[in-house]
Structure 1
Amino acid sequence: MLFILFTLLTITAQEKSNYYIGIEGISTTKGVFANPIVGRNFSKLNVQVGLLAGSSFVNNKSTFGVKGDILLFPDEQREEEFNFHFISSFTYFKNSVSVENARTQTGTFQITFGYGFEYQIVKHLLIKSTIGLGALLERRDFNFNTNSPKNKWGFAGLLSLGINYKL
């Protein structure tokens, strides 16, 4: 957290910055999360990373993870217009399910590809939305004997709505 704060203070000291911060609400096939992000704008390409904090659909317990995104804008981003983009998202989070003495620890890797838009509502403040589909891999660790596979592949979906502030 201190690293992120130091980075933001360094970025805001510059006159013109290509950096932004934001927060998104995310719904995936495995849970619902809040996602504070830090990103960098490279003209037609944005790269952003963030932390996930939310609840898993499996057991409604708190779940934490990380998320990284690459946004590609076919046209250069313009102020006060809808800016369409393609997105590739990489997500990892871990959760645990316990029933009496049986416990399963699951690490979920998710990759989605999709599209979205952003729109500048006032100077430096943008609203954005994305939708994506992809695949997930669950790496499960059981503390009991089972015939279930340790690795399980599945379908991944992601829907997000958020705001960004250009620094």
Structure 2
Amino acid sequence: MKIAYIKTQKSGASDDLLAELVAQLQAAGRQVTGVIKDQNHAPSHANGCDMKLRVLPQGPVIKITQELGAGSDACRLDAGALMQVVALVEAGDIAGSELFVLNKFGPEERLGRGFCAAIATAIEHGVPVLVGVGSASEAGLISFAGGQAEALDGDIGSVHRWWSNARSKADPVET
């Protein structure tokens, strides 16, 4: 199993790194599936708590948060929109990709929902998996990966080295 995660101290840094990696790999003709945060979306809240995700490899871009008003401190996640994104990812060619990327292993994944089945599909087919993770979800990711998730430095060089090594050792799980 080849699964790695990026945990950075600066908010948004892992999103920037994943977007840079995906752009580089796609420019080189590599097949990447999953989702990344849409870098063209300007959050309307100071905490950056509204976002759009871009389904890989070619889109669409879907807003996964809802407007709750300026005074609200409730979770802004639009579960229906997130499930739409999940369905699009799961309908894609995960098995035929060279890398599966998930912008964030978060609360839904900690509960065994969200993108868990898509990650499992990638792993089943020997596709390396790279995810962003925050402090609150790191233990959940490690547990989900059976203790086999590898932490990476938050720089593009270490991510490229991991991916190159993971590709060379990627073998589908025998069933």
TM-score, normalising length: structure 1: 0.26
- More helix by proportion, 1 or 2? 2
- More strand by proportion, 1 or 2? 1
Q: Which has the larger radius of gyration?
A: 1
